[in-house]
Structure 1
Amino acid sequence: MKQIIGVAFLAMALCFGNHANAEGKAAERKTFVIGVEDFDYYPLHSMSRGSEFTGFARDVLDAFAHEHGYTFVYQPLPINRLFAVFFEKNTLDFKYPDNPHWQTERRQGVRLSYSTPLVVSEEGALVLPSHKGRSLLHIKTMGTMLGFTPWPYLSFINDKSVTLVIDDNFDSLLRQAIGGHIDVVYMNVDVAKYRLETQLKEPQGLVFDLDLPHAASDFSLSTRQHHEIIRQLNLFLQRQPLLLPRLREKYHIQGSDRR
Structure 2
Amino acid sequence: MQQQIYRVGVEDIDYYPMYSNKSALDNPGFLIDVLEIFAKQHNIKFEYIHLPTTRFHEWYQKENIDFRLPDHSLWNSGNEGLVFSEDIINLRADTVVLKENRKLPESEIRTIGTLYGFIPGPQWASRIEENNIEFVYEGSTRILIRMLKKGLIDGLDLNIHVVKHYATELGYDANDFALATHAPSTQFSYQLSTTSHPDIIRQFDAFLENAKNEVAALKRANNIYN
Q: TM-score, normalised by structure 2?
A: 0.89
What SS does structure 1 have at the residue aligned with 2:58?
helix
Gaps of 5+ in 1: 1-27
Question: Which of 83, 104, 109 is 2:77 aligned to?
Answer: 104
Q: Distance in 1 between matches of 2:45 and 2:67?
A: 13
Name which one, 1 or 2, has greater alpha-carbon Rg.
1
- 1:65 and 2:39 are equivalent in the alignment: yes
What SS does structure 2 have at the residue aligned with 1:122?
strand
Tell me the residue number matched to 1:149.
119
What is the correspondence of 1:161-176 to structure 2 with a 5 Å cutoff?
161-176=132-147
Q: Which amino acid aligns with 1:84?
A: E
Cα distance, 1:253 vs. partner? 0.9
1:237–1:134 distance in 2 versus 1, CA, 3 Å: same
What is the correspondence of 1:161-200 to structure 2 with a 5 Å cutoff?
161-200=132-171
Cα distance, 1:89 vs. partner? 4.7
Q: Distance in 2 between matches of 1:221 and 1:130?
A: 37
Tell me the residue number matched to 2:84.
114
How many aligned positions are there?
224
Deviations 1:45-99 (CA, angstroms, capped at 9, x unpaired): 112443567111111111111011111111111123343131x258211111111
Tell me the residue number matched to 1:208.
179
1:241–1:141 distance in 2 versus 1, CA, 3 Å: closer
Tell me the residue number matched to 1:45.
19
CA contact (8 A) 1:124 1:212 kept: yes
Cα distance, 1:119 vs. partner? 1.4
Tell me the residue number matched to 2:109.
139
Tell me the residue number matched to 1:94.
67
CA contact (8 A) 1:157 1:164 kept: no
Higher helix share: 1
Deviations 1:143-178 (CA, angstroms, capped at 9, x unpaired): 222222322223223323223322222222222222
What SS does structure 2 have at the residue aligned with 1:177?
helix
- Greater than 6 Å deviation, 4+ residue runs: none
Q: Which amino acid aligns with 1:137?
A: S
Which segment drifts farther, 38-47 or 167-176?
A: 167-176
Gaps of 5+ in 2: none
Larger relative contact order (Cα-Cα within 8 Å, sequence gap ≥ 6): 2
Q: Distance in 2 between matches of 1:117 and 1:188?
A: 17
Identity of aligned residues (%): 28
Q: Distance in 1 between matches of 2:203 and 2:182?
A: 39
Q: Distance in 1 between matches of 2:46 and 2:163?
A: 28
CA contact (8 A) 1:36 1:82 kept: no
Q: Distance in 1 between matches of 2:156 and 2:62?
A: 35
